[in-house]
Structure 1
Amino acid sequence: MAVRIDVEAFRDSIPMEVGEIAARLLTESSVGELEPAGGGVQAVVRDHDVVFQPWVGIVDGIFTGDCDCGIAGEDLCAHGVATALTAFDAGVAFSGAATPPGDAVPVEPDHAHYLQAVQRLSPRQLADLVAGHAARDRLFATLLLAEAGMLDAADTSGLADFGAAVRDASQATADSRWQISDVEAAGHRLAAEVQILCARPAIPTALDLVEEAILVWDELSGHLRDAYHIARTEPEEIAEPIVNAHRDLCERLDLDPDEIAQRLNQLLARCHHDTVDVDMYADLLGEHADAISPSARW
């Protein structure tokens, strides 16, 4: 149930010092995109060279905040106040019984153990560790840049890398001396590269490339099926992440169900090895699921 908030009373309750810092953050456009979370709202806030992610919401009838800066509860920090004011201006509806993100999901033991380790590191140690890992792991590097807001949709380097993987996969059996291991290697590279591609901003060109990858893998998977007695990879191990990426891109690009159905029908007409599971798109298609060719369900 949404709750109406007296914005003027909220403003009057803010301590002067906190209000001045919050006003500066708003003037500098330091509050990032608002995200609904646990009945409240959160956003990335850049305060000089430091990044925080405050959450604000109504807990037990009290407007409450929780921020990386260490301030939680009724006494909101400036980052929480700036986020709240941004949410009020945007007309965000707050639940009357919100749950802070940290309380929503029990922390797994391993995760808690790593969090404890992180808390023992100085900012410089943590930064060096993260940067070093990013230099060795392209997926982690892409996720890091995405979280930092440093990926530009206009940057086509991710498309080039994935396009190269698709082209190489399409040539996996071109050599007369190819082996089934070549098909498996090409498939695993596609599965890895599609994760990196989808960690970047969603653009239509990426969706087109993933559809090309689906068709390439569908053809290659036939060789795995024929060589099931020696193959070490199931076709679904590669198909699942690629098709999942396609489905997620359709959702992130907010495609109309008619267009999704059209794209699926075009894929299904060219796939001969059951690579695409139409049921994965059920929530996106809705009533338009009937537009999928009946042959796709067999």
Structure 2
Amino acid sequence: MAVRIDVEAFRDSIPTAVGEAAARLLTDDSVGELEPAGGGFQAVIRDRSAAFQPWVGIVDGVFTDDCDCGIIGDELCAHAVATALTAFTAGVAFSGAATPPGAVPAEPERAQYLEAVQRLSPRQLADLVAGYAVRDRLFATLLLGEAGMLNGADESGLADFRAAVRDASKVTTGSRWQISDVEAAGHRLAAEVEILCARPATPTALELVEEAILVWDELSGHLRDAYHITRTEPEEITEPLVGVHRDLCERLDLDPDEIAERLNRIVERCHYDTMDVGMYADLLGEYAGTVTSARW
């Protein structure tokens, strides 16, 4: 059940020093995007050279915070206050019975790793993370994205996916290719599109994924013809490609009519029923009937 919060009373209850620090965070645009969590809301806050993720919500009738800045006490920290004020301005609804993230037991498969993280010093953890990022491009992209260090306007990060699409389009043009070459090209597309999805959504990325779907549709025909010797089902590549395409359409907030137009263009050029347009039903709304596909 959502509750009303007296914002003016909340402001009056904040100590002057905490209120001034929170105002500085808001003025500096340090509060990231609000995320619902456990009946309350959280956001990443960049406070000078550090980052924190405060949570605010109503627990047992009391407006409560849960922040990893280390400040302990009955009063809300400046990070939590800035998050709360951002939430009030956004007009979000708070649950009357929220659960702070710190009160939720860790999932069994994560508990051991969380314990290991807590045993590491900040320097040890930083070295471990940076070292793994150097070896794993997907992890590196996720890391930079979480840190707000990926620029959607910088299209240099699309080069690897563009190269994978180009190479896949040429894999059967010679006379010495094998089915294993088609499978390898498909798995490379699937791996690269996962990395692409971790980047900011851009129209260019969407167009590249559409090109990749068409390239894979043609290649998948070779797998279907050689089903008796293949080790890869076409759907293993199709599903991540189409899934990312749907995700980009949603993240770019495309109008349903534009999504329908894009889908129809792709479907018309696909010969092997690659596009499962049923995945887009919730995005298409009343335009769902305007997309023709045997896979509805």
TM-superposition CA deviations, 1:137-196 (whole Å, max 9, x none) = 111111000000001011101222211110000001111000111101100110011011
1:191-230 map, 5 Å: 191-230=190-229
- 1:7 — aligned with what? 7
Partner of 1:148: 147
- 1:86-144: CA deviation from partner (whole Å, max 9, x where unpaired): 2223333322233334556x532121110000000000000010011111111111100
2:79 corresponds to which letter in structure 1?
H
SS class of match (1:262)? helix
Task: Give the TM-score of the pair, scaled to structure 2.
Answer: 0.94
Residue 65 of structure 1 contacts residue 73 of structure 1 at CA under 8 Å; is this kept in 2? no
Cα deviation per residue 1:22-51 (whole Å; 9 max; x = unaligned)?
233223322122223333221111122110
Q: Does 1:96 find its partner at 2:96?
A: yes
Query: Are 2:42 and 1:42 aligned?
Result: yes
Secondary structure, counterpart of 2:294 in structure 1? helix
Aligned to 1:179: 178
For residues 103 and 206 of structure 1, what CA distance do their matches in structure 2 show?
A: 39
Contact (CA 8 Å) 2:273, 2:295: kept in 1 or not? no
3-state SS in 2 of match to 1:206:
helix
Q: Measure the CA separation in 1 of the matches of 2:203 and 2:287.
A: 21
* Equivalent position of 2:243 in the other structure: 244
Gaps of 5+ in 1: none
| Paired residue type of 1:158 | G
Are 1:268 and 1:296, in contact at CA under 8 Å, matched by a contact in 2? no
- Cα distance 1:253–1:74, how it changes in 2: closer, same or farther (>3 A)? farther
User: Once structures 1 and 2 are overlaid, which stretch shifts more, 11-20 or 40-49?
Assistant: 11-20
The residue correspondences of 1:1-298 to structure 2 (distance < 5 A) are 1-70=1-70, 75-103=75-103, 107-293=106-292, 295-297=293-295
Letter in 1 for 2:219: L
Contact kept in structure 1, 2:179 and 2:223, CA below 8 Å: yes
Q: What secondary structure sits across from 2:30 in the alignment?
A: coil
Q: Output the CA distance in 1 between the equivalents of 2:47 and 2:83.
A: 12
Between 159-168 and 57-66, report the one with greater CA deviation.
57-66
Q: Which moved more, 1:130-139 or 1:76-85?
A: 76-85
Deviation at 1:20, TM superposition (A): 3.4
Supply the distance in 2 between the matched residues of 1:264 and 1:212 (Cα, whole angstroms): 12
What is the CA–CA distance in structure 2 between the aligned matches of 1:103 and 1:265, rounded to whole Å? 48
Q: Write the letter of the residue equivalent to 1:76.
A: L
Q: Name the SS of the counterpart of 1:297 in structure 2.
A: coil
More displaced stretch, 73-82 vs 200-209:
73-82
Provide the secondary structure at the position in 1 that maps to 2:51.
strand
Aligned pair count reads 296
Deviates more, 1:53-62 or 1:215-224: 53-62
Q: Give the whole-Å Cα distance in 2 for the aligned partners of 1:65 and 1:36.
A: 14
Q: 1:240 to 1:109 in 2, by over 3 A?
A: same
- Give distance in 1, aligned partners of 2:179 and 2:113: 39
Give the distance between the partners of 1:276 and 1:107, measured in 2 at CA: 38
RMSD (CA atoms) = 1.8
* TM-score, normalised relative to structure 1: 0.93
**What amino acid does structure 1 have at the position aligned with 2:10?**
F
Letter in 2 for 1:13: S
Of 229-238 and 38-47, more deviation after overlay is shown by 38-47
In structure 1, distance between residues paired with 2:98 and 2:72: 14
Q: Distance in 1 between matches of 2:237 and 2:155?
A: 24
Q: Aligned partner of 1:32: which letter?
A: G
Tell me the distance in 1 between the aligned counterparts of 2:106 and 2:216: 37
